[in-house]
Amino acid sequence: MRSAPAIRWLLVAFACLAAAVVLAPATVPIYDGIGNPDEPYRYVNPPAGSRATKPPTTAAETLKVRHGRSVAGQVNTDEFGPQLALFVPPGALELPAAATAVTVTAAPVVAPTEQPSDGALEGNVYRITATASGGGVDLVGLGNQAPVLDLRAPTARQPGPVIEHFADGRWTSYETSRVGNDVYRTRIDALGDWALVRGHSGGGSSSSLVLPIVAGALGAGGLLVGVLAIRRRRRTGAAPDVSR
């Protein structure tokens, strides 16, 4: 029979592993600059000294409509890795009654003349739009139903940038997480122009990347300690009395 201390160590190990699963993000970026290096960033207006590249690509995806609601869809640009990736949850778009499909597009555009007051634009500005036959389309998904936007930065320099939205002549920053070597994520609550902005005194949070790593390390460490405790207990246990 296993000793009580060994059982306690196993319970701790399983608890740590469960925490790692809970804390891990729902999606893991495919392209993070590790193993499969990203191609050089493609600019709308290349800065001085940047490498010559092909033009940046436009992402477009047509989503089906079922029972008056748009189905879920993924919209990625074609670079390696994608400079923009947008996940649209089901029902996140408000559609005209006659719509049978909706097309979501994210196109790199020339940056507006109004610059962010809290930093400098980093990479391209992307204009996200949605169109459907029968009328206009708006974004209505909020909270967990809000679309998830990933933008790749031209470099992995830290502190990283944050994602900001441009509307009505001004830029607004959004809570941003680092989810890859040079990839940043937020949930958007509007269509329109989105970009990365490198602040004057800081950047995006890396909490969503760090927490799963820490939790995973705790889980693996706890499991290893539990196994070692059992083996040590077996080696040091008293030999059976065979003299009777």
Q: How do residues 66-118 score in pLDDT, each as one tens digit?
A: 988 999 999 999 999 999 999 999 999 999 989 999 999 999 999 999 999 99
Tell me the C-alpha distance between 13 and 82, whole Å.
37
Predicted confidence at residue 135, as pLDDT, reads 85
Tell me the C-alpha distance between 50 and 30, whole Å.
25
Q: Is the pLDDT of residue 16 over 80?
A: no
Helix segments in the chain, DSSP class H: 4-23, 207-236
Residue 202 — φ and ψ, nearest 5°?
170, -170
Predicted confidence at residue 68, as pLDDT, reads 87
- Please check whether residue 145 is in contact with residue 89, taking contact to mean a CB–CB distance below 8 angstroms: yes
Using a 10 angstrom Cβ sphere, with 0-12 exposed, 13-18 middle and 19 or more buried, the burial of residue 21 is exposed
Q: Which of 175, 169, 203 is nearest to 189 (CA)?
A: 175
59-66 vs 93-94, strand pairing mode = unpaired
Tell me the C-alpha distance between 194 and 166, whole Å.
6
Q: Is the pLDDT of residue 218 over 50?
A: no
DSSP letters spanning 62-85: EEEEETTEEPPEEEE-SSSS-SEE
120, two tokens: 């400098």
Tell me the C-alpha distance between 148 and 60, whole Å.
15
Residue 10 — φ and ψ, nearest 5°?
-65, -40
pTM confidence score: 0.72
Q: What mean pLDDT is predicted for residues 226-237?
A: 48
Using a 10 angstrom Cβ sphere, with 0-12 exposed, 13-18 middle and 19 or more buried, the burial of residue 138 is exposed
Tell me the C-alpha distance between 41 and 55, whole Å.
10
